[in-house]
Amino acid sequence: MERPLTKNIRDDQEPCDLKQYEKAGGYQAVRTALKEFEPAEVTELVKKANLKGRGGAGFNTGMKWGFVPLGDDAPRPRYLVANADEMEPGTFKDRLLMEGDPHQLIEGMILAAYAIQAEIAYIFIRWAYIVSQKRLMKAIAEAYEQGYLGKNILGSDFSLEMHVHVSAGRYMCGEETGLLNALEGKRATPRAKPPFPQLSGLWGKPTIVQNVETLCNVPHIINNGAEWYLSLSLTEDGGTKIYGASGHVKEPGAWELPMGTPVRELLEEHAGGMQDGRKFKGLLPGGASTDFLVEEHLDTPMDFASIQKAGSRLGTGTMIVLDDKTCPVGMVHNMQKFFAQESCGWCTPCRDGLPWVRDVLEAIEQGTGEEGDLDMLSAHSKWLGPGNTFCALAPGAVEPLQSAIKYFREDFETHIRDKRCPYRKT
């Protein structure tokens, strides 16, 4: 099984320096692209490889790049931004890549920037990722020294400046237009779309915002081709995927596996199954802002279309596992506290609706819930759903809520009827 994304990540947790990365084939894709490919050809190759965004949306990456206007009359400068904020609860895949192989991200960014003819690139990273920041800055300095960044890269006409921007840290910074506002020094609130960032993004100029894992795939596509990349997958979605698992499993962690690996294999083989004395109850397949999947879904392939057909979203591909001794009401309440806190307050449904949901869940969990609370929460799931808010924060926040009520309704009813949480010993 090929693992292109993690093949350079070592057990001693120290990343490759530039010389080691080059020895392993690093930056060969940059040399090839600058010498043999036109920018549009890089975009077309990535499009044919069906590389879908690994940040959650699952949009075809090459198609996204193709929306950026090129040519002498196109606006300049153009920007590339790596979204390394990774504030989705339960998600740690991008951190693995940045700490373990920072040059891979830098090479992917150089190639993406070349494809859209961007002159300036930023890595927008959350404040808590201190190790990632240090390793990226060191790798960027090495890349400048070796001529992979800066003016006329490797003697070509292409130039690129790259910077690390450390974010103050809010969940809203993961939304691409909120991220752009934060990068400009403003509040991290979403922008109206259209115009989309590909046409009017950072400081009103064409901008691509791309997830870290997505960008790390690009060098391997350039080196090996679209057909090779498609062959790595078990589904029509190209490539491998870094999947993760947390919760009451025996071996929580992250693994690079073929796109479309079944949920059951991830849970039972790679995560080691449930801890002794605990049984599986459900899981969130792609971080806290996805719908629960239960026993009947365990044979579902972990790809975008299959998970959507099962009633959830692949999201980041990092599952949070719920066992039979953990209260689902308390779990959902904990997540709604997070989402209510992280709302930017830009639109009324999210600003006022999420705290209301949080408070109702807290009352149920504390034993003061009332009849009608579940109907109220279900109604809020619709009022805060897609199309009713300015961005996707609130619709994502209510996904675990609506699915928890669907699959674990008896737990909610028991809380309300018995006036206590049955999972508590006292």
Would you state the pLDDT for residue 174? 87
Tell which CATH architecture fits domain 328-418.
Up-down Bundle (1.20)
What is the Cα–Cα distance from 224 to 49, expressed in whole angstroms?
10
241 strand-pairing partners = 257
Mind listing the pLDDT tens digit for each residue in 273-309?
999 999 999 999 999 999 999 999 999 999 999 999 9
pLDDT of residue 171: 93
The reported pLDDT for the residue numbered 72 is 87
Q: In what order do the strands lie in the sheet with 207-211?
A: 161-167, 120-126, 79-84, 207-211
- Per DSSP, the chain holds a count of helices (H) and strands (E) of 17, 8
The ranges assigned to domains in the chain are 18-231, 240-323, 328-418
Domain 18-231: give its CATH superfamily. Answer: NADH-ubiquinone oxidoreductase 51kDa subunit (3.40.50.11540)
**Mean pLDDT for all residues in the chain:** 95
| Residues 6 or more apart in contact with residue 36 via CB below 8 angstroms | none
Among residues 164, 125, 129, the alpha carbon closest in space to that of 143 is found at 164
Q: Which tokens go with 138? A: 């060191």
Q: Per residue in 12-26, pLDDT tens?
A: 778 999 999 999 999
Q: What is the pLDDT of residue 11?
A: 80
Query: What distance in Å separates the CA atoms of residue 371 and residue 94, rounded to the nearest whole number?
Result: 43
- Stretch 215-228: mean pLDDT: 98
- pLDDT, tens digit (0-9, with 9 covering 90-100), for 94-109: 999 999 999 999 999 9
Tens-digit pLDDT profile for residues 326-361: 999 999 999 999 999 999 999 999 999 999 999 999
Determine the pLDDT at residue 169: 78
**Cis check: omega of the bond before 355, within 30 degrees of 0:** no
By CB neighbour count within 10 A (0-12 exposed, 13-18 middle, 19+ buried), where does 294 fall? middle
> Does the pLDDT at position 397 exceed 70?
yes
- With tokens 């609506």, the residue in question is 402
> Is 90 a residue whose pLDDT tops 70?
yes
Q: What is the pLDDT of residue 52?
A: 96
Q: Give the phi and the psi of residue 194 in degrees, each rounded to 5.
A: -75, 165
User: How far from the centroid of its chain's Cα atoms is residue 418's Cα?
Assistant: 39
Contact (CB, 8 A) for 41 and 57: no
Cβ neighbours of residue 32 under 8 Å, at least 6 residues apart?
222, 223
The one-letter amino acid code at 340 reads A
pLDDT digits (tens, 9 = 90+) for 222-244: 999 999 999 999 999 999 999 99
Name the pLDDT band for 196 (thresholds 50, 70, 90): very high
Tokens, residue 156? 């070509």
pLDDT of residue 336: 97
Q: And the tokens for 132?
A: 């990632």
Between 58 and 196, the more confident residue is 196
Under DSSP, is residue 15 helix (H, G, I), strand (E, B) or coil?
coil
pLDDT score at 426: 61
CATH number of 240-323, picked from 1.10.760.10, 3.30.565.10, 3.40.50.970, 3.10.20.600 = 3.10.20.600
pLDDT for res 258: 98
Residue 10 has a pLDDT of 85
411 in Cβ contact with 281 (< 8 Å): no
- Are 81 and 210 a contacting pair, CB within 8 Å? yes
pLDDT surpassing 90 at residue 424 = no
CA–CA separation, 323 vs 250, rounded Å? 12
Q: What is the pLDDT of residue 215?
A: 98
What's the token pair of residue 50? 């069906």
8 A C-beta contact, residue 403 and residue 312: yes
- DSSP letter assigned to residue 227: H
Instruction: List, in order, residues 6 or more apart from 121 with CB less than 8 Å away.
Output: 79, 80, 81, 82, 109, 110, 113, 160, 161, 162, 163
Residue 294: predicted pLDDT: 97
pTM over 0.75: yes
Tell me the pairing of strands 280-284 and 253-258: unpaired
